[in-house]
Structure 1
Amino acid sequence: MKVLSVLRWFASVGFKVFRVVPWATSLGVLSTLVSQLASLLAALLPLKVIILLGSEHVPSYFPSQLHDYNKMALIIGLGGTALAFFFIHLVAERLIARLAAFGARRLIAHSRKLALFENQEQLLTRGYQRFAAALAGGVFIGVAALALVLVYPLQAMVVVSYIAIVWVVLYFVQRLSHVWRVREVGELTKLIGVLADLGFFVTFVVIVLDVLLGTAVSVFWAIVTLLLVRQLFRRLASLVGDVATLYSQRLQLNALLFNGHLYAGKAITEDSKGLWTLVDPDTFGSWLAPLIERVAGPAAGAPQVRWMQSGTPDVLMGIVRTQSEPQQSYLVKLFGKNHGALSRHEASLFAAMGNAPAPLPCLCLVEQLESFNCHVFSWPMVNTVKPQTVGRDAMTVTAGLFSIRPAPSLVALFTRSRPMLWQRLDDDLLRRLHLFVRDIEVSMLEHFAASIASIKITLEAMPLAIVTPELSPDALWHDNEGSVWASHWGRWTLEPVGSNWPVNEKFLPLLPAAFEQAQKLRTELQAITIMHVELAALMFAFDKACQRQAYRSAIDLIEPILRAYDGMDSRPVAEGR
């Protein structure tokens, strides 16, 4: 981010805040400053008490004013004063929180706008508190720097020189490195914190060397200087972090504070900008051709790419075709940084399943491009499906997954990480359903409650299947033979066979044919009946309805669930994982 633009924005926010709530802001800054100073003194005085406890007399390097007092009186006095400053720190922090909440309410009321987004008052309260802390931090740094110049001029020169050197280095790194420009605020704050700690140790080394060389500064003031420098660097790191965090929320804060600003949703993040630059026509050739060559081998010419919408924000998807004969086709997916977990979850599926049959594609390569995750699939698909056939094509994918047995390593990995369907059905769910049930449905719900334990045991014993909920028009594809494939697997789960099948009157009757076809390809499915599979489909739909808090829809599923459960074959289900 550009420093001058950040400072200009911070100044404009400051003028607005002081104009609307001048006394609360001033008192908040003063309280923050008092809190910081009290915290510093509360940490300094116990150190002096420890020094006194280890000395027979008041050390000679203590200020001369303290030599007139008895050692025990000094210990009690300094200890009591430390507790008093700690109490002042707590009171000041409490006052800061109340002033921040008051200031945020006044600012929102002054803007005279509708509710713009969730938790806007909490966001403005935290922002207002950060603003006051940043101002107080700036005042504290100025006062500490002045005290340092008066007490220990050499260390003041060291601190200023260190800050100047760090500033210049970061400036040139930011100008020359594209990777640095797309770093997140949290990473910047961590870096500044590390540099601040390094600055403290540089000052510490200089103080030690100066004392060993016979400085005129007393040991007492050397200790005070060390603590002062420690607090100065901490406040400087906090100041940078507060300003950077506020600037990252500038669209929301501008909309809340300024009448001329509107809020149209989440801003395009720096990460997203970096991601989209990878698919710029002048950019993608430099990384795409070497990537495809690693999979397909040397090519006669540059590969052709057609970018397709993925249906998921910050997930970019392109169909790549090689120029050499025979022509090969690949799917390249780029994941934004906010989808790191999504990409890792997708990769874990294919790492365990290997070259599984359709509808699972073949993952050829997992790579990282400028800190963005990239997946390359073998992809001989023609085009996405037509909107009017999405329902049936999604069922084709689900039916195809019934016949694929999940690898034991995948089952072990998933069951250690995520709750299974039978584990998600708890007693709290039944208590909530009682709030929405009608009088004529009470007995049915009681029957369901009495059967739920047995239903869960049945589901737990059933064979598992891979389930993917991402079966939108953008995620479904046809190949030349008419087979249906899915391109998004970032939210896959493992559920009892039958899960994710539509349970409406139109599609549920098609489940037996799909199950019979899966039984021919997967032998462990011979141990269950169609009623088991129908029960799994209905319980999966029941769980999804409850997750959406669509409790009336869930209650409507109870009768067919009981009908499927009561109609199951009495023979035991053999486990097949």
Structure 2
Amino acid sequence: MKVLAALRWFISVGFKVLRVVPLATSLGAIFTLVSQVGSLLAALLPLKVIILLGSERIPSYFPPQLQGYGKTALIVGLGAAALACFAIHLLAEWLIKRLAAYGASSLILHSRKLALFENQEQLLSKAYQRFAETLAGGVFIVFAALALARVYPLQAVVAGGYFVTIWAMLVLSRRLIQVLREQEVGDFVRLVGVLANLGFFVSFATIVLDSLLGTRVSVFWAIVTLLLVRQLFRRLASLVGDIAILYSQRLQLNALLFHGHLYAGTAIPEGARGLWALAEPDISGSWLTPLIERVGGTVAGGVEVHWVQSGTPDVLMGVVNSVADPKRTYLVKLFGKNRTALARHEASLFGAMECTAAPLPRLCLVEQVENFNCHLFDWPMLKTVKLLAAKDALRAVTAGLFSVRPSSSLVALFTRSRPMIWQRLDSKLQERLRLFARDDELSLLDNFTASLTDIKAKLEAMPLAIITSDLPPDALWLDRQGELWASQWGYWALEPVGASWPVSEKILPLLPAAFEEAQLLRTDLKAMTIWHAELAALVFAFDKACQRQAYRTAIELVEPILSACDSIDGHASKE
């Protein structure tokens, strides 16, 4: 985050907010300041009560104005004042939330724009409240610094010197160190919080050292100073964090607040710019060549890469060839910072499979390149599938996966992590289906509910197959023998064999041929019938329809599901 740019943007937004809702913003800042002072006093006064309770008389370092009261009266008075300050703090917080909601709605009405994105009112309300807190925090810091300079000048010098030193170090380090420059907003806010806590301990050490050297500051004011310094550093950390978070949301806030700004999606994050920089011709060879050499030995003449569409945002994909040996072909994939879970899920599939076959490629290497996840595949592919043939190719990939038996370690890994289809079938779902069912379909739903336990037991007993959803056409490839392969495996799952097969009237009748071909290659499918596979396909489609809340589609699948279940039972009784 650029500090000066963030400050300029914050000031421009501040003028805009104050111009549109001056009263609500001013009151919000005032109540925020009252809340902070109330919170500080509510924390300080009980400490004084504890000190009085542990003393036989009023300590001499208490202010002269308090010495005239009796000990009991002072304890009761300070305790009541602590409760009053806490009540004021709670009341101020309630008023702040009400003012934030009013200010946000006023700003949206003033912008006179269509709805730009989901939860825009909540985002603007939180941003507006954060803005008011920042204003109040700035005022609090100014008054706290003046009070500190008046009560304990040495502490004011130490706190100010620490702040200037840390500020200079942060600015300098973010300019010189690449890792800090690309730091996420959340990491930067946490770092500022740690530095603020360190500043408190520096002030604490200063008080201890000053006391040992014979300070003239009383214990009472030393305690007050310590609490004041703690609140001062907390407010500073909160102020920096609030500005950083607001600046990270500047595209949405600009679109909501300023007439001349349009919202076209989130900004390209710094991590994404770094990701795409790795694809530049002058840079790609420097990190690709060592990866290829680790897998296939020395590369004579370097490598050349042809970048191809991955079909998935923030995932860079390229076909890499050795210049001296064009037949040595690899597929490299770089995952953006927001695709870390996708990369790990893909790597877990190939890490747990002992062997791979079409459509699963061979994963050669998992590595980190400039803090980005990188996968390198052996890739003797020729070309991508044409768009018109993508649906047939996707179905062929599904059929090919029926023939690949998942390893026991992969099954154990997945079942410990994700709910299986028989676990996702909830009897409570029937209540929602009944809301969309016609009168003549209610008895059918009753039969489905009665058969649900049996259906789940049948699915649980079936062998599993790997499935992958959301395969874009760009992820489907053909090798020189015409074999189909897929390049995207970040969304794989395990389901009973037959699941994910299309259930349309034209495609479902093609399932028996694909299933019988898989039976020839997998001995664990011998005990299954085609009706088992159909049941898995239909229940999987039913589950997907329910997830999309397409309940009419789900209801239409109930009768075929029951029919497949009856066919399984009928075949079993004949045997």
| Residue 49 of structure 1: how far off its partner (Å) | 1.0
Per the alignment, residue 129 of structure 1 pairs with 129
C-alpha distance in structure 1 between counterparts of 2:140 and 2:230, whole Å: 12
Per the alignment, residue 69 of structure 2 pairs with 69
CA-to-partner distance for each residue in 1:366-392, whole Å, 9 max, x for gaps? 111222111111111111101111112
What secondary structure is seen at the aligned counterpart in 1 of 2:319?
Answer: strand
Per the alignment, residue 500 of structure 2 pairs with 500
Per the alignment, residue 568 of structure 1 pairs with 568
CA distance change for structure 1 residues 286 and 496 in 2, over 3 Å: closer, same or farther? same
C-alpha distance in structure 2 between counterparts of 1:428 and 1:100, whole Å: 39
| Residue 446 of structure 1: how far off its partner (Å) | 2.0
Unaligned 5+ segments in structure 1 are: none
Q: Which amino acid aligns with 1:303?
A: V
What secondary structure is seen at the aligned counterpart in 2 of 1:427?
Answer: coil
Comparing 545-554 with 89-98, greater Cα deviation is found at 545-554
Per the alignment, residue 78 of structure 2 pairs with 78
Q: Which amino acid aligns with 1:520?
A: L
Per the alignment, residue 322 of structure 1 pairs with 322
Per the alignment, residue 253 of structure 1 pairs with 253
Residue 467 of structure 1 contacts residue 495 of structure 1 at CA under 8 Å; is this kept in 2? yes
Per the alignment, residue 420 of structure 1 pairs with 420
Q: Which amino acid aligns with 2:252?
A: Q
Residue 529 of structure 1 contacts residue 569 of structure 1 at CA under 8 Å; is this kept in 2? no
| Residue 443 of structure 1: how far off its partner (Å) | 2.3
Residue 331 of structure 1 contacts residue 376 of structure 1 at CA under 8 Å; is this kept in 2? yes
What is the 5 A alignment of 1:419-438? 419-438=419-438
Residue 402 of structure 1 contacts residue 498 of structure 1 at CA under 8 Å; is this kept in 2? yes
Q: Which amino acid aligns with 2:50?
A: I
Per the alignment, residue 219 of structure 2 pairs with 219
Comparing 351-360 with 309-318, greater Cα deviation is found at 351-360
CA-to-partner distance for each residue in 1:480-526, whole Å, 9 max, x for gaps? 11111111111111100000111112221111111111111111101
CA-to-partner distance for each residue in 1:12-42, whole Å, 9 max, x for gaps? 1111111111111000000000000000010
| Residue 268 of structure 1: how far off its partner (Å) | 1.4
C-alpha distance in structure 1 between counterparts of 2:407 and 2:9, whole Å: 55
| Residue 239 of structure 1: how far off its partner (Å) | 0.5
C-alpha distance in structure 2 between counterparts of 1:354 and 1:171, whole Å: 50
State yes or no: 1:263 paired with 2:267: no
| Residue 62 of structure 1: how far off its partner (Å) | 1.3
Per the alignment, residue 473 of structure 1 pairs with 473
Number of equivalent positions: 573
- TM-score if structure 1 supplies the norm length? 0.97
Residue 6 of structure 1 contacts residue 247 of structure 1 at CA under 8 Å; is this kept in 2? yes
C-alpha distance in structure 1 between counterparts of 2:478 and 2:471, whole Å: 13
C-alpha distance in structure 1 between counterparts of 2:355 and 2:461, whole Å: 27
Residue 331 of structure 1 contacts residue 378 of structure 1 at CA under 8 Å; is this kept in 2? yes
- TM-score if structure 2 supplies the norm length? 0.98
Unaligned 5+ segments in structure 2 are: none
Comparing 177-186 with 458-467, greater Cα deviation is found at 177-186
CA-to-partner distance for each residue in 1:504-555, whole Å, 9 max, x for gaps? 1222111111111111111110111000001100110111111111111111
Residue 332 of structure 1 contacts residue 374 of structure 1 at CA under 8 Å; is this kept in 2? yes
CA-to-partner distance for each residue in 1:191-226, whole Å, 9 max, x for gaps? 000111111111111111111111111111111111
Q: Which amino acid aligns with 1:262?
A: L
CA-to-partner distance for each residue in 1:106-130, whole Å, 9 max, x for gaps? 1111111111111111110000000
CA distance change for structure 1 residues 572 and 169 in 2, over 3 Å: closer, same or farther? farther
| Residue 445 of structure 1: how far off its partner (Å) | 2.0
| Residue 141 of structure 1: how far off its partner (Å) | 0.8
| Residue 148 of structure 1: how far off its partner (Å) | 0.9
Identity of aligned residues (%): 69
Residue 200 of structure 1 contacts residue 233 of structure 1 at CA under 8 Å; is this kept in 2? yes
Per the alignment, residue 533 of structure 1 pairs with 533
C-alpha distance in structure 2 between counterparts of 1:501 and 1:255, whole Å: 44
What is the 5 A alignment of 1:129-148? 129-148=129-148
| Residue 354 of structure 1: how far off its partner (Å) | 3.4
Per the alignment, residue 332 of structure 2 pairs with 332
Q: CA RMSD in A?
A: 1.4
Q: Which amino acid aligns with 2:469?
A: P
C-alpha distance in structure 2 between counterparts of 1:71 and 1:571, whole Å: 91
Per the alignment, residue 446 of structure 2 pairs with 446
| Residue 428 of structure 1: how far off its partner (Å) | 2.5
Q: Which amino acid aligns with 1:25?
A: T
Comparing 30-39 with 265-274, greater Cα deviation is found at 265-274
What secondary structure is seen at the aligned counterpart in 2 of 1:503?
Answer: coil
Q: Which amino acid aligns with 2:2?
A: K
C-alpha distance in structure 1 between counterparts of 2:423 and 2:211, whole Å: 66
What secondary structure is seen at the aligned counterpart in 1 of 2:331?
Answer: strand
Per the alignment, residue 89 of structure 1 pairs with 89
What secondary structure is seen at the aligned counterpart in 2 of 1:481?
Answer: coil
| Residue 329 of structure 1: how far off its partner (Å) | 1.0
Per the alignment, residue 55 of structure 2 pairs with 55
| Residue 572 of structure 1: how far off its partner (Å) | 6.7
Q: Which amino acid aligns with 1:174?
A: R
What is the 5 A alignment of 1:4-23? 4-23=4-23
What is the 5 A alignment of 1:187-226? 187-226=187-226
